A and B are shown apart, each in its own frame.
Chain A
C-alpha cells in the first residue's frame, strides 16, 4: 500500500524558534496533502489542505503566518511552525489523498515539544 513518511518523528525546540516538519509520499504522487494537529486524548483537527503548486487552504482559526505550509512537489509538503510557543506543543500528523481519491494515507506523526 501507499506509504507516507514524516520527519522528524519528534522534536524539542525552544520558545521563539521555528521548526520544519516534512511529509513525503514515498511511492505515489500526492496532489493533495493534509495537515492535522492532535492534542492529548483529543481527536484530529484539520489545520490546512495543501495542494501542489498552490497556496494552502487553512481552516478557520489556524494562523497562516504561524503555520507555513509549502507543497513544492507531488511528493513533499512541509509545515513550518514559526516562533513556536509552548501552546504549539502537539502531535502533528500529515496525510495524503490516495491516487484513486478514496481516503487518505496517514504519516506516522511528529511530536513537537516547545520548552
Chain B
C-alpha cells in the first residue's frame, strides 16, 4: 500500500517568516496534489504537479516535485495569517485512488 507522510504535523510560525512542508511517499508516482482545508470545510485545490521537476507558484505558496526522491515540498514565503489552515498532499497511484498525507496544521501568529 502506498504511504504518504508529511512533516511537520503541526507548524506554528510568525508572520513574515518562511517555512517548508515536506511530503514523502513510498512508491513511484508522477502525480502529486496539494490541498488546503479550513476548519469545517472541504478541500481546496492548490497545486497539481504532474512531472519530475515540476514547480508551481501561487502567491506566497510554491510547490515542487522530485519523483526520484519521492518528495514534494510546499514552501511558504513571508507567511500571513490568512494562510492558517491544514495542508494535505495527495498522491495519485495512476489507478483510481488518492492517497492522502497526514496533513500539516499551520498556524500563523501575528
Contacts of A109 in B (CB 8 A): 41-42
Contacts of A108 in B (CB 8 A): 41-42
Q: Which of A32, A43, A46 contacts B103 (CB 8 A)?
A: A43
B97 engages A46 (CB within 8 Å): yes
B42 engages A103 (CB within 8 Å): no
Nearest Cβ in chain B — how far from A33, in angstroms? 10
Contacts of A111 in B (CB 8 A): 40
In this assembly, does A34 line the interface, its C-beta being within 8 Å of a C-beta of chain B? yes
Q: In the docked arrangement, what's the CA distance between A102 and B42, Å?
A: 19
4 extra interface residue pairs, beta carbon distance < 8 Å, beyond A32-B96, A43-B88, A97-B96: A43-B100, A46-B97, A103-B92, A106-B45
Size of the chain B interface, CB-CB below 8 angstroms? 20
Q: Secondary structure of the A side of the interface?
A: strand
Q: In the docked arrangement, what's the CA distance between A107 and B92, Å?
A: 18
Size of the chain A interface, CB-CB below 8 angstroms? 21
A102 engages B48 (CB within 8 Å): yes
Q: In the docked arrangement, what's the CA distance between A106 and B48, Å?
A: 14
Q: In the docked arrangement, what's the CA distance between A32 and B97, Å?
A: 10
Per-residue interface assignment for chain B, residues 18 to 56, with 1 indicating a CB less than 8 Å from any chain A CB and 0 otherwise: 000000000000010101000011110100101000000
Contacts of A97 in B (CB 8 A): 96
Nearest Cβ in chain B — how far from A25, in angstroms? 14
Minimal Cβ-Cβ distance residue in A for B9: A41
